[in-house]
Amino acid sequence: MPETVAAAVTRTPSGRLALAASPEPIALGPLDGRYQSAVAPLVDYLSEAALNRDRVAVEVEWLIHLTNNSVLPGAGPLTADQQEKLRDIVTEFDAAAVTELAEIEAVTVHDVKAVEYYIGRRLPAIGIERLTALVHFGCTSEDINNLSYALGVKGAVEDVWLPAASGLVAQISAMAEETRAVPMLSRTHGQPATPTTLGKELAVTAHRLRRQLDRVSKTQYLGKINGATGTYAAHVASVPGADWQAVSQSFVESLGLTWNPLTTQIESHDWQAELYADVARFNRILHNLCTDVWSYISIGYFRQIPVAGATGSSTMPHKVNPIRFENAEANLEISNGLLDTLGATLVTSRWQRDLTDSSSQRNIGVAFGHSLLAISNVAKGLLALNVAEDVLAADLDTNWEVLGEAIQMVMRAEAIAGVKGMENPYERLKDLTRGQRVDAARMQEFVSGLGLSPEAEARLLALTPGKYTGIAEQLVDHLR
């Protein structure tokens, strides 16, 4: 009987089977594992593969731009067919291309140089192998990288993050409209305060979030292509008669980006810091909504709709936990930790260039991924809520003391109008209400004994905590 050879088994130092040796890749991070489906759209913009595809796109478009404008003698415009085939290198970029690029990089130990060689391999099939030297002409790696990152971030924001964030704000706005007239006890410093409406409070959050979306939507995505230290030195030395600034500007703008005329070797990344600050601010406002909704759930203002088959607790079967909002809180905090770090570090580069930004920028997708995951969780969490109007009404009815503000202000107005006996209104209401529960009967008895004008007395006697909401309902109209 032939001797069998057992397959080599890899184990950890503790003797367990090494999961890293599994034939199927196992994700290290949650965004590529547990939550992959929620953030999958970002892969097309902010993954390493997407970065390489954008690098290929920038190199291809630079070659076409140089030839179309006859910038270099002997390199005139390409035919329409040649241009189409060059662009096919980008549109047909697939998993096999990712693998081939990785194999080239394993030799070059340089990611952008690998892209240059990858494109060069394909020029003979297009019939333009004589232009191989034009690939990456006059460029430093950062010329390609800054444009590629700008394109990736722009696409991720405009095609994925903004639509998701805008959809959530529209959802919150719709909730505000639906609950605009639902009275609710306010709490300032955690204590009962002047009533509002649930819709008005949701409208405040929607308005705040909209302002940040407006800022994000106006982001300028800057780019440069000006050589090793931003001086066009190699460009001028090789082709002194070209207007290289005009060539650079027209190219950057043809990509849908804003030209940055003054840089070191790197585009300064200030626009990135500005964008990440705005996204982080959106995250923080959304985090505030999560903690408020969580608290409202805990006091019964919202009832959670149970999901069939779902488990709230492994031991307490009655529980329906606000996990969507808790999950969102954590992911918003992680996102902001990264966004804040990116914003703080990317604006600094030693002298004309250091490589700290190279590692930092590879986490842009992670930062947006955690934000996108949080947005998804909040949207799902809000869909699973019912407003407990009976609980809100009962809370108002046990806090008649909040009418103390209205009564003392009416007394002030009466005093100004010449009604006698309206002295010390604040102090009199303070004695009646501070730290005390006051029911409807006691409050109305107090009002009746003040000696107000008949019209003012009638107005106050008709007032209840549920009706003391000012123009809260009308304020929701500002969302329109």
The catalytic residue positions are: 189, 313
- The angle subtended at Cα 27 by Cα 48 and Cα 41, nearest 5°, is 50
> Is 178 exposed, middle or buried, given 0-12, 13-18 or 19+ CB atoms closer than 10 A?
middle
Residue 184 parent element (H or E)? strand 183-188
Question: Residue 415: exposed, middle, or buried by beta-carbon count in 10 A (0-12, 13-18, 19+)?
Answer: middle
For 279, residues 6+ apart whose C-beta sits below 8 A from its C-beta are 161, 212, 216, 335, 339, 367, 368, 371
Task: Identify the bridge partners of residue 258 per DSSP, sorted by sequence position.
Answer: 222
Residue 385, strand partner residues? 304
Structure tokens at 316: 């307490």
Which residue type is seen at 434? R
Distance CA 44, CA 152 (A): 8
C-alpha span between 42 and 159 (Å, rounded) = 9
Say how far apart CA 140 and CA 478 lie, in whole Å: 50
Residues sharing a CB contact under 8 Å with residue 233, sequence separation 6 or more, in sequence order = 227
Q: Would the CA dihedral through 236, 242, 244, 248 be positive or negative?
A: negative
The rounded distance, in Å, linking the Cα atoms of 407 and 101 is 76
Cβ neighbours around 63 below 10 Å, total: 23
Residue 83 backbone zone (phi > 0: left; psi -120 to 50: alpha; other: beta): alpha
